[in-house]
Amino acid sequence: MDGIILVNKPKGYTSHDLVQKVRGILKIQKIGHTGTLDPMAEGLMMLTIGKATKILPYISIHDKKYHAELTLGIKTDTLDAEGTVLEEREVPAYSDQQISEVLNSFRGTYLQLPPMYSAKKINGKKLYELARKNVEIEREPVEVTIHDIQMESHEGSRITFDVACSSGTYIRSLCADIAERLGTIGIMSALKRTAIDKYSLVQSYSIEQIEKGEFELIDTYDVLYHYPYVEVTDITDVMNGKPISIDTDYSFVFITHEGKVIASYERYHDDVFICKRGLW
């Protein structure tokens, strides 16, 4: 069993919990995922099964879409509803227009500070491991891109919005940044991932469906559609990891055989390409 499965992660599960659950159901050890979701979050996760785990480096940077809820007037150490409350304020009355203008101001690329409570590693240490020891270290802001952001609703201190963004964007940080531009404080109080690249939450399967065997795997060929493919008839050298000659303008390609992705190759010099990773 090799391929990619789209799973609707329920609230309360860590990303690790979900992987372990699917491992137990499918009786397969080699399962990975393309990006974590916090336990309080729900929605789409893309799991790689079997040999498909080898393509993780090539699909972990996909753009994503979320439906988020921001609650103003409160600040926590984790920037979300599960953290310890650090501060509370009265929330000014904002018009829908004011909120929309602030949301729109985030379109494009901006520098975002990764939250301490995150899986991001600095000097080999996961930030949340340090945060749990009450250790806060200096982090460098990271460029993230907000492709689209739209307010869905606004009632009192609660704002719901949809956002399409680059991989590596922390929606908790985005919520805090939105609140700051509004002149107040705020936390992410709910989150649902609705899409990863071209794949939507409506295409995903629940844990119950997977337990019943009511699911289909996506082929690696479909998931890697962003990249150029080169079909090879004789794959002897490819299977042995040897350099091969390819007539192409691309500097990086996936080698396919009979419609199956079997390796990634990178230009070494002229038309000579060397194997970066075997995917068979």
Give pLDDT, residue 122: 63
The CATH number assigned to the domain with range 3-61+198-219 reads 3.30.2350.10
The CATH number assigned to the domain with range 227-278 reads 2.30.130.10
Chain centroid to CA 126: 17
| Mean local confidence (pLDDT), 222-238 | 94
| Mean local confidence (pLDDT), 158-171 | 96
Percent over 90 (pLDDT), the chain: 81
| Mean local confidence (pLDDT), 88-93 | 95
pLDDT at residue 197 above 90? yes
How does residue 100 score in pLDDT terms, banded at 50, 70 and 90? Answer: very high
Give pLDDT, residue 109: 97
pLDDT tens-digit series, residues 209-219: 999 999 999 99
**What fold characterizes domain 64-196?**
Pseudouridine synthase (3.30.2350)
pLDDT tens-digit series, residues 65-80: 999 999 999 999 889 9
| Mean local confidence (pLDDT), 180-186 | 97
Domain residue ranges of the chain, discontinuous segments joined by +: 3-61+198-219, 64-196, 227-278
Give pLDDT, residue 159: 98
Least confident of 24-38, 131-145, 230-244: 131-145
Give pLDDT, residue 280: 82
CB within 8 A of 77, min separation 6: which ones?
83, 84, 86, 116, 117, 131
Q: Which own/partner contact pairs does 37-41 have at CB distance under 8 Å and 24+ positions apart?
A: 37/9, 37/191, 37/193, 38/14, 38/80, 38/82, 38/172, 38/191, 39/11, 39/12, 39/13, 39/14, 39/82, 40/11, 40/80, 40/81, 40/82, 40/190, 40/191, 41/9, 41/11, 41/191, 41/192, 41/193
Residue with tokens 């019943």: 212
**Alpha carbon distances (Å) from 173 to 6, 69, 180:** 26, 13, 10
The answer to whether domain 3-61+198-219 and domain 64-196 are alike in fold is yes
Helix 96-104 and helix 171-181, axial crossing angle in degrees, nearest 10:
120
CB within 8 A of 166, min separation 6: which ones?
63, 144, 145, 146, 147
Give pLDDT, residue 126: 63
- Burial class for 84, CB neighbours closer than 10 Å (0-12, 13-18, 19+): exposed
| Mean local confidence (pLDDT), 135-162 | 91
Tokens, residue 75: 């600040």
Give pLDDT, residue 36: 85
Percent over 70 (pLDDT), the chain: 92
In the annotation, is 38 catalytic? yes
How does residue 96 score in pLDDT terms, banded at 50, 70 and 90? Answer: very high
Higher per-residue pLDDT: 117 or 167: 167
| Mean local confidence (pLDDT), 26-31 | 95
pLDDT tens-digit series, residues 113-146: 888 666 666 666 665 565 566 666 667 889 999 9
The pTM score is: 0.90
Q: What is the mean pLDDT of the chain?
A: 92
Q: Which of 2, 17, 38, 234 is catalytic?
A: 38
